[in-house]
Structure 1
Amino acid sequence: MQSAYYVKQIAKRFHLPSTPTLVSGVAGVSPILASWLRCEVPDHGTADPPPRVDAYTIQIALRAIDSLEIRLLGRLATSDPMPQGGIFLFNLESNPVKTFHSSFELVRFEVSQAAIDALCSASDEKPVTGLKRPPFGQKDPILFHMARALVPSFGRADEVDSLFFDQVALALHSHLISTYAGPCVDPRPLRSGLTCWQIRRTTEMIEANMATDLTIGEISRECCLSPKHFARAFRRTFGVPPYQWLQERRVDRAQQLLRMNEMSLSNIAEACGFTSQSHFTRVFTTIVGASPGAWRRYMSHRAHILLGPQQIRR
């Protein structure tokens, strides 16, 4: 399925009117994304830098890019043209900034280190320390064919079944760890995020008090930090502000309750800490790309197709 939240964020970052994006939650911890980026303007300009998080972006050129500059932590990394089928792979903590001086068509994957670790653990594979970056523009036929095969799906992203892109995400993970596993060589900034115990305490508090009006002051006191220091450290750790992270967790909880198909939308809104059903609908639709009612009907329809009514009743 497509998420309006990610479509909006990625389109804004690349200054494009639309960036069809497929989203897979197969890793459980963070989504794996695939986006279609296209521009026919000869001098598109500079894309905004992404959030500095421990995640990787893998971009495949569906056609040659004549003029492109990439900077990592403010330093020029390459200004070479990109051949058709060429890729670039780097960690988002290196603050990659791209300037396009010619038209382009790319498929952009994004996968976090946490998702890589979770999928390795689930399949009893040896954990990897990261992904090593190949030379800019190096061709990868497998990724190129995978990216090109997704193009028809981007044209009807809202109709793509989650099971389909989950399989693509799993294939992407297998290829990445078999081909690029190794220490990440991208430059990474020194940063001061939350410590392990602060992360644990923060997530415990948010999970336990999701239905209440939790404040940054209350959480920061538990972490022995000032509210300003906590907010800055939280964003450096999770890549988003505390409020946005809380809203996403509330939507995750709401999806669990919607799958049970037993509670009304107003009761789910209250249980998940939304101020009203309209507030719940607005936030849910922004993040998921569909209203709570439409999403529930879609999941119920999928369950009937996959399991059959007899198994659902059991």
Structure 2
Amino acid sequence: MDRDDLVRLRRARDLINREYAKPLDVPALARAAHMSPGHFSRSFRAAFGETPYSYLMTRRIERAKALLRIGELSVTEVCWAVGCSSLGSFSTRFTELVGESPSAYRARSHSGAEPIPACVVKIFTRPVRSGSVRNGSVRNGEARPAANT
């Protein structure tokens, strides 16, 4: 992959990071990267290890976890706030990535994370797909070994 493609892919990834709560689809992201949708999807997966949709949902669930830890919004309100349009799909994806339902996550005490800087909490609470191990990845607060390559 050439440098120009990586720059364009990063532009689309940055768009996801900024606008995760807005309706984003592959054609819109591909336009931001100045690529065809098919080429964009293949290149994004090759560069970042997951599909654009998977990356978007990971960002949404990551933000949902932060909102649920605060506890001021209901699960339904959090679902809408992060850009999901279906509570059922949101709950299913949340449970898949986090290992517990949004309601159970919200009900659990998160007071132990308060003195930890937000940037560190974000690293250690980032949702990790089942079956994918990244160097230094953590799931549910438990360190996972780096994959042998």
After TM superposition, the score normalised by the length of structure 2 is: 0.67
Aligned to 1:241: 51
Which residue is 2:111 aligned to? 303
* Mapped partners of 1:273, 1:209: distance in 2: 9
The residue type paired with residue 94 of structure 2 is F
Could you tell me which amino acid in structure 2 is paired with residue 264 of structure 1?
Answer: S
Q: Of 32, 44, 52, which residue of structure 2 is paired with 1:222?
A: 32
Q: Secondary structure at the match of 1:218?
A: helix
Matches of 1:219 and 1:286, distance apart in 2: 25
CA distance in 2 between counterparts of 1:228 and 1:195 reads 14
- Alpha-carbon separation, structure 2, partners of 1:260 and 1:194: 40
Radius of gyration: which is bigger? 1
Instruction: Name 2:122's counterpart in structure 1.
Output: none
Indicate the residue corresponding to 2:131 in structure 1.
none
1:288 matched to 2:101? The reply is no
Conserved in 2, the CA contact under 8 Å of 1:235 and 1:241?
Answer: yes
Compare the two structures and name the one with the higher helix fraction. 2
Aligned residue number for residue 63 of structure 1: none
Question: What is the identity percentage for the equivalent residue pairs of Structure 1 and Structure 2?
Answer: 35
* CA shift for structure 1 position 284: 0.1
User: Of 83, 86, 89, which aligns to 1:273?
Assistant: 83
Distance in 2 between the 1:262 and 1:282 partners? 22
CA RMSD of aligned residues (A): 2.4
Aligned-partner Cα distance in 2 for 1:194–1:204: 15
What whole-Å deviation, never above 9, does each CA across 1:49-104 have from its counterpart, x for those lacking one? Answer: xxxxxxxxxxxxxxxxxxxxxxxxxxxxxxxxxxxxxxxxxxxxxxxxxxxxxxxx
**Structure 1 pair 305–204 and aligned structure 2 pair: CA distance change class (3 A):** closer
Deviation at 1:270, TM superposition (A): 0.3
Matched residue, 1:255: 65
Q: Indicate if the aligned counterparts of 1:192 and 1:236 stay in contact, CA closer than 8 A.
A: no
Q: Which whole-Å deviations, capped at 9, do the CAs of 1:20-46 have from their partners, x for residues lacking one?
A: xxxxxxxxxxxxxxxxxxxxxxxxxxx
Give the Cα–Cα distance (whole angstroms) in 1 for the partners of residues 14 and 57 of structure 2.
15
Q: Secondary structure at the match of 1:262?
A: coil
Compared CA separation, residues 225 and 304, structure 1 to 2 (3 A):
closer
Tell me: higher relative CO, structure 1 or 2? Use CA pairs within 8 A at least 6 residues apart: 1
* Amino acid of the structure 2 residue aligned with 1:206: I
Contact 2:94 2:101 in 1 (8 A): yes
Corresponding residue of 1:204: 14
- The corresponding residue for 1:62 is none
Structure with the larger strand share: 1
TM-score normalised to structure 1 length: 0.34
The within-5 A match list for 1:145-156 is none
Secondary structure in 2 matching 1:236:
helix
CA–CA distance in 2 between the matches of 1:257 and 1:194?
Answer: 36
**Contact preservation (8 Å) 2:60, 2:82:** yes
Task: Give the whole-Å Cα distance in 1 for the aligned partners of 2:48 and 2:4.
Answer: 9
Aligned mates of 2:2, 2:45 — CA distance in 1: 10
The CA distance in 2 between the partners of 1:274 and 1:210, in whole Å, is 10
- The code of the aligned residue for 1:201 comes to R
Map 1:1-314 onto structure 2 (within 5 A).
191=1, 195-298=5-108, 300=109, 302-303=110-111
Amino acid at match of 1:287: L
Question: Which blocks of at least 5 consecutive residues in structure 2 are unaligned?
Answer: 116-149
2: CA distance, partners of 1:255 / 1:213: 19
